[in-house]
Structure 1
Amino acid sequence: HATLNNSSDKVTLTPQNGAKVCVNGREVVQETLLNHHDRVLFGNNHLYVFDNPKAAAPSPSPIPTFEAAQAELAENSGVMGLLGDKAKSSKDMLLMDDLVKLYPQVQEANAMSEELDRRVRFELVLMSPQGRGLRENEGRTEVYISLTNLDSGNEFFWSKDKFSDRKYLMRDMYQNYMEGESWKLPQEKDPFWEPADSPLLIGTCHVYLQSLAYLIEVAESFSVTDFRGEDQGKLEIELRPCDSEWRELGEEFSEPDDVIGQAINFKVKLNKGHDLSPKYAAYYCQYKFYLEDEFTRTPEASKAVNPQFKFEKKYTFKPVTKQLMDYLQNSYIIVELWGRQKDSGKKSSKTTKELMQGDKPKQGAVGDSRPAPAGAAAASAEAKNLKSELDTLKQKSERNEQKIKQLQTLVNEARKSGKDVLQVDKVDKILSATAASSARPVVNKGGKGGAAAAGGGGKSGSSATKAEEKRSEAMGKSTSAACSIQ
């Protein structure tokens, strides 16, 4: 790896061409003077402390520990940049400890891949709970190891435990290679190999459920983002409130308090994806709703770019509890998009070393100059929640306006026919309906009981006041919602 020269009690180190040598955590490429207790790394695994008794200080300083030298290497590699600002919490300290321990192991795995020409590259990446398909409070950010096939470009993610198990097998393979023994293994036993069709979490989208609490449908294309915060396409998803016969409700809504204690029926539809990456041979989606322990999963769709899932699941809750209503108003389902990558079968004429030199680190990985934005996932979730609330308000506003138009039609027809009496149950039906009604407003031609006369008194006047209060309430909600949206 290097040539050491001692001249007049001064020791210098000169790296050989192409050899990796680090002094005090930094790679050196030219002749370097070594000082007492300098840390010297040859390659990826041979770490030493340089001891020069003649240059030692009168009061001896403690010998640097192996752990301190590893931390120094990790810090100078840029691995700590993955944490963003200074790590302060206990979770950050655990994360830092994982990074310091795993960094030299990843370097070792890359060195073995290069020497054995295994055509893969390993990198450290950080995955937040949201990036793994979890909620923000369901765990901590963890270190994963990204494996990139340098021929196909396919990327996979290994947990720390899986990487550790594979690394021991890599060492056995490398040791056999160094001893001149038979070292090549069948593909299915090769520790550097990962099948192209291994399921890969492409990304997730959050579908907020607030609209269901008002019996308002959702039909939208939701953006799918990966753990790096990058857009991976869209999923067309619908939430459809239904009646007891599974007919989809129309242009009305109900207040959440009115739904509690009643039955609620709705469908969750995962229709299709679009603008997805063509690198995948098949896709499927999965999610959990409310108290479900198991994932609900769609069939696999093999059409590239725009897969058709055509999936539908019906849900019935009878009666609706306050707990369920709180869930609908304040929570969301996480829809995960999974894929199986294509195996091109192509192999470059370049060596692993040449391919590594031309392969840039992925965003958010060690060595990348563009770390994933801190808090991006939280900001994205907040934006999606706000959008869901605005969509719900907008639909409530539109439906309140429709009620007002129906009431206006009722009044106009009464005036045209010279009548001054409106049938209370028809007015109440317009104001209180929770399902679409195609019935035309009916004008009562007489001033009989059960009708409210304009300007009348007694019970009729009370009913008219009640109807007017509901109408005013509807108008107030419409105006309030419209102002909120603006």
Structure 2
Amino acid sequence: MNNGKMMKMPMPSIDSVRVAVRVRPFSQVSDKCYIALTSSISLKLFENLLLLVKKSFTVFNISLFPLLYIYLISLVLFFFKDDCFKRILIYFMPFFIQVTFSMLEIYNEQVKDLLSKTKKPGGLKVREDQQLGFYVDGLKSVPCENYAQIERLMEQGTKIRTTASTNMNASSSRSHMVITIQFKQVFLDRDLSKQSSINLVDLAGSERQKSSGSEGDRLREGSRVNLSLTNLGNVISALADAAMGKKVLHIPYRDSVLTKLLQSALGGNSRTTLIAAISPADICYEETLSTLRYAERAKKIRNKAVVNTSTLMRESRAQNNKLLLGCGNSRMEHCLLCCAALSGEEVLSLFLLQEQQMVKTFPHLLNVNEDPQLTGVLKHFIEAGSCDAGQAASNAITLQGLGISDKHASFTNSDGKVTVTPHGKCKVIVNGVSITTKTKLQHLDRIILGSNSAYLYIGFPSERGSEDLSRFDYDFFQLERAASEGVSVDTLGAVNSGDGKADPSVLAVFQDYIKLMPLVAEANQMSEELKKGLNMELKVKNLASSDSRGCDLQKEVMVKVTNQRTRQVWIWSKAKFINRKFLMEELYQRFLDGEDSHVAQEDDPFWDPAEVIHLGSAHIWLQSLAYCMKFEEQVEFLNCDGLEEAVLHIHMGPCSPTGQARGEEDVVIDPLELLGKRMDFQIRIVQCLGTKWLKEDAERGVQMGYRIYDLPNTLYTKPVWKILNPQIEETVQFTALNASQEFLNYLQTNALIVDLWGLQEGCAELSCSQPGLMVTGEGHIMVDTKKISTTSNQIPELYLKLLKLEQETELLRNINRVLREENVFLKESLEKTGSSQQGKRPLKSWCLLTGMTAQLPAAREVNQMCTQQASYDRAFAKALKVFHQSMNVARGQFLKLRHHKPPEDDQMLRPFVHQQSQMLKDFGDLLESSLWKLKNDVALIVKKKRECLLHME
């Protein structure tokens, strides 16, 4: 061209678009593959395509279209592995070569940079230039020195590429992807540069909704993909017709973002190869035929590839010399000439030398980034005196990031020490602790400014040693912040006390917590700047909760969101919070760009409809019901942090079918006595005391719910609103018509879990209806509804027989033990005595053995012994029963004493203290006498049982 900025060689190379077809090998689900290939077809294909890469070094533009992403990765691995890279570059040693890498995706007709962490709302803009054609404005291009960097960048981009699961593919790509590797040859001796690009394009496959099962977002994504592929097909058809000599009025490049970016690859300055990957499955017949027709049209296209040469360097150097000559004979002329004489590498060396000198002299801040490659890139030196840090350009230390104010903090270097002082309410965290006043810094202190700008403080040279700075990575900062909030591996219970090994599921929760911490901080900062009034805090669900058997529940990270204006509360899961944060970032970017950030309430990521909030759980063990004993207690509701949320006053106890409470005489010694019998009991929720949820906002309400044994639904109490200590007073009677062994075991080993739910304005109350529950004729809810077979009815009788057999077996064991001892004694006697006395001792022993045999108890005597054993058990049970009654009385006195509050009148204080002292004395006397009586009764029973055993021997 005449302007000289981009000069193209006059002799173009006319090439058709090359097409390669690859049939996917049979998968593991296929029965058999009947075709055997004797050579590596892929290797041959790669070697043929390698010629294109070599041509890119002769500065032709190259485009590859593998229609399968895994195949695209394989191509890059083959083309740019180190040995191949070096083999090609060896021919161009006289030239200075630059290699850059960029990676983008086209998702829902929006361009996203896969190498950038910041997501611009609406995507990057596609603009048009007269010389360059269509290009992506703001696309990140990363210089690369070797293949390892290209591989790392590809992995980085692949992780954040948009994929989703469909019926056809578990990780279906929902976007088109374009990888561009650009080569630039700089001829220093001729002030000339040449450049070429390799474009690797992965087209998302078209899909049928019926086959893929797409719906919702997947269906919309598939529609956009199909539309862009249709536009691409129209462009290919038009180009193919033009190549065949047909008259074409218009080539629709502008119909989609994809065709705009592929304009040079299709019918432009490029040598292009299209790889069609098809399936051998017969169910994909139509897709395979469509792909082959696609490729058939594409190979008719003819491109005109030229060498891209630029003389911009020559013109720029001439212009610089002209400007320098116009400066005259001044001192500035000499300086400019000296600077101009330095090459870029020399200027960089001077800069690095100066930085190294300052590092050795001054304390400084070293940036710490989530990406290890970016950690330590920035160094902010704290010279003598005071310097401000913030977003304002006038600051000595200029910072960017969420939560950074114009004047955020001041650093002072004086008298051999450095201090940091926050400005106003600006957020500054030192070693995990937020500070508000002037704080002295120590060497290797960790500093976080704003939401998430992390720095490591490097002290004076005299304070430094041979420390390993690599351990102070991004995760170290977050772990420190989590520890200051009371969250660590130990508090989560990650280490099993049994084997000392860490629980992987709990460690995963801890990692989620660490990763979400900076995201929550950023979301809070965006809420503050957008004046949304939300406060978000991380919580661990089920941190201190357990199931009905006392086992820990599965933990997960959640976000508690509180509207500080309306006092409304929401609980967001990890996935919901991350999705909302993306929407928050888009809204915040519009705010930064000066656009209108107001959205409708239903589209506002900072808003949700009001919902019922789970406040905590209370555990009441059911073992007393298995022994027909009543239970009355005040139990704590514990929230997700294990702290008291409220106190539950609850009664439980056995009753008659008519609802009459049973007395102490109905207590059973063994729960098996209830097997197969009707069992009625009541659960009465009396009151909820000291509810923090209601203290925070008196307009709120509460509900409680619980489920017992095999009930299909949860039973909820009636909602109570605007009462600090709500009186519930709800009683439910349950009936087990034939108590089964499983139900009795459940009562002995499980707890009743009562959940406390918080109600807030605008939320729907929990339903108190009881659909699907079986009830008796009296209207009581039936539990343990499994039918007991006829054989199960015989269990009590068999159990009693088993008890008698066990007692008889124990008695026979004792007799056997005595006989064995006598046998040993006889053997020892025979060895000691002479032959003359052998007739007496054996006779005596025989008589003793005969006497013992004669004394073996008959069946009637065994039954009598069993009866005596049972009488001892009854006596022991009776003693325990009497002690239990005494303890109930003592407990009543203790509750009375506990609720006995002092009067407000000072004159009544002395009688109150006297009365309280008397109550304490009576309580102590009763407790002492009850324990003394229990001790005597147990000692008497043990004495009688011992005498009986001695009598039996």
Q: Confirm or deny a common fold (TM above 0.5).
A: yes
Distance across 2 between alignment mates of 1:270 and 1:127: 26
Aligned ranges 1:267-278 → 2 under 5 Å = 267-276=682-691, 277-278=694-695
**What is the CA deviation profile of residues 34-59 of structure 1, one whole-angstrom value per residue up to 9, with x for unaligned ones?**
x9xx9997744667999xxxxxxxxx
> Does structure 2 conserve the Cα–Cα contact (< 8 Å) formed by 1:39 and 1:69?
no
The correspondence for 2:560, drawn from 146, 151, 155, is 146
- Partner of 2:477 in structure 1? 72
- CA distance in 2 between partners of 1:333 and 1:128 (Å): 17
8 Å CA contact 1:284–1:299 kept in 2: the answer is yes
The within-5 A match list for 1:5-16 is: 9-10=358-359, 12=381, 15-16=389-390
Cα distance in 1 between the residues matched to 2:680 and 2:430: 67
Matched-pair contact (CA < 8 Å) for 2:703–2:717 = yes
1:224-249 residue CA offsets vs partner (Å, 9 max, x unmatched)? 23233333332232223222344332
Find the residue that maps to 1:125 and give its secondary structure: strand
1:258 aligns with 2:673: yes
Give the conservation status (yes or no) of the 8 Å contact 1:203–1:227.
yes
Larger radius of gyration: 2
Q: Is the CA contact (8 Å cut-off) linking 2:548 and 2:752 kept in structure 1?
A: no
Query: Which amino acid counterpart does residue 243 of structure 1 have in structure 2?
Result: S
69-78 or 162-171, larger mean C-alpha shift: 69-78
Corresponding residue for residue 218 of structure 1? 631
Contact kept, 8 Å, 2:650 with 2:683, in 1: the verdict is: yes
Q: 1:135 to 1:112 in 2, by over 3 A?
A: farther
Aligned to 1:370: none
The one-letter amino acid of 2:880's match is K
Counterpart in 2 of 1:170? 584
Alignment correspondent of 1:282: 701
Letter of the structure 2 residue corresponding to residue 272 of structure 1: Q
User: Does residue 754 of structure 2 align to residue 335 of structure 1?
Assistant: yes
User: Quick one: distance in 1 between partners of 2:660 and 2:516?
Assistant: 56
Give the whole-Å Cα distance in 1 for the aligned partners of 2:627 and 2:530: 62
Query: 1:360 maps to which residue?
Result: none
User: Which whole-Å CA distance do the structure 1 matches of 2:707 and 2:728 have between them?
Assistant: 17
Pairs within 5 Å for 1:106-121: 106-121=520-535
Q: Name the structure 1 match of 2:572.
A: 158
User: Within 5 A, what are the aligned runs for 1:192-231?
Assistant: 192-195=606-609, 197-231=610-644
Q: Secondary structure at the match of 1:183?
A: coil
Higher helix share: 2
Shift of the 22–286 alpha-carbon distance from structure 1 to 2, 3 Å rule, reads closer
Distance (Å, rounded) in 1 between the aligned partners of 2:476 and 2:381: 24
Counterpart of 1:108 in 2: which secondary structure? helix
Deviations 1:216-273 (A, max 9, x none): 2223333323233333332232223222344332333123121112121222222332
Alignment partners' CA distance in 2, 1:121 and 1:289: 37
Q: CA deviation at 1:99?
A: 1.9
The structure-2 alpha-carbon separation of the partners of 1:227 and 1:133, relative to structure 1 and needing over 3 Å to count, comes to farther
AA aligned opposite 2:521? Q
**Could you tell me how far apart the structure 2 residues matched to 1:218 and 1:43 are?**
54
> In the alignment, what sits opposite 2:224?
none
**Matched residues in 2 for 1:293 and 1:286: separation?**
13
**Structure 1: distance between partners of 2:880 and 2:551:** 34
Question: Over residues 178-233 of structure 1, what are the superposed CA-to-partner deviations in whole Å (9 max), with x where a residue is unaligned?
Answer: 222221223343222345x5212222211111111112222333332323333333
**SS at the partner of 1:82?**
coil
Q: Any conservation in 1 of the 2:489–2:507 contact (CA below 8 Å)?
A: no
Quote the offset at 1:478 in angstroms.
Answer: 3.7
Aligned pair partner of 1:302 in 693, 718, 721: 721
Pair 1:102-2:519 in alignment: no
Do the aligned partners of 2:549 and 2:749 also contact (CA within 8 Å) in 1?
A: no
Q: Which runs of 5+ in 1 are unaligned?
A: 51-60, 344-460
Structure 2 gaps of 5+ residues are 1-353, 360-379, 383-387, 391-406, 410-426, 458-467, 496-501, 763-863, 885-929, 936-953
C-alpha distance in 1 between matches for 2:432 and 2:524: 18
Query: Using CA pairs below 8 Å that are at least 6 residues apart, which structure has the higher relative contact order?
Result: 1
Q: 8 Å contact 2:482–2:488 — kept in the other structure? A: no
Q: 1:40 to 1:268 in 2, by over 3 A?
A: closer
Q: Distance in 2 between matches of 1:329 and 1:202?
A: 27
**Does the CA-based 8 Å contact 2:558-2:574 persist in structure 1?**
yes
Classify the secondary structure of the residue corresponding to 2:487.
helix
TM-superposed deviation, 1:321: 1.7
Aligned residue type for 2:750: S
Per mean C-alpha deviation after superposition, the further-off stretch among 238-247 and 255-264 is 238-247
Identity %: 27
Contact 2:454 2:477 in 1 (8 A): no
Alignment length, in residue pairs?
A: 354
What amino acid maps onto 1:270 in structure 2? I
**Matched residue, 1:82:** 487
2:408 corresponds to 1:18: yes
- One-letter amino acid of the counterpart of residue 875, structure 2: S
- Residue 56 (structure 1) aligns with: none
3-state SS, counterpart of residue 206 of structure 1: strand
In structure 1, give the amino acid aligned to 2:519: Q
DSSP 3-state at the match of 2:532? coil
The amino acid of 2:487's aligned partner reads: L
Q: Call closer, same or farther: CA 1:164–1:483 in 2, change over 3 Å.
A: farther
* 1:318 and 2:737 are equivalent in the alignment: yes
Q: Name the structure 2 match of 1:476.
A: 879
Summarize the Cα distance change of 1:333–1:26 in structure 2 as closer, same or farther, 3 Å threshold. Answer: closer
Classify the secondary structure of the residue corresponding to 1:337: strand
Distance in structure 2 (CA, Å) of the matches to 1:234 and 1:24: 38
Counterpart contact for 2:570–2:613, Cα < 8 Å: yes
Amino acid at match of 1:316: T
Q: Is the 8 A contact 2:548 2:619 kept in 1?
A: no
Q: What residue identity is the alignment partner of 2:601?
A: Q
* CA contact 1:15–1:31 (8 Å) conserved in 2: no
Q: After alignment, is 161-170 or 132-141 more displaced?
A: 132-141
Which residue pairs with 1:179 in the alignment?
A: 593
Counterparts of 1:126 and 1:263, CA distance in 2:
43
In structure 1, distance between residues paired with 2:451 and 2:634: 47
Which segment is superposed worse, 297-306 or 272-281? Answer: 272-281
How big is the shift at 1:109? 0.5
Letter in 1 for 2:739: V
Q: CA deviation at 1:77?
A: 5.8
Q: CA offset at residue 332 of structure 1?
A: 0.8
Is residue 2:578 matched to residue 1:128? no
Q: Which residue of 2 aligns with 1:354?
A: none
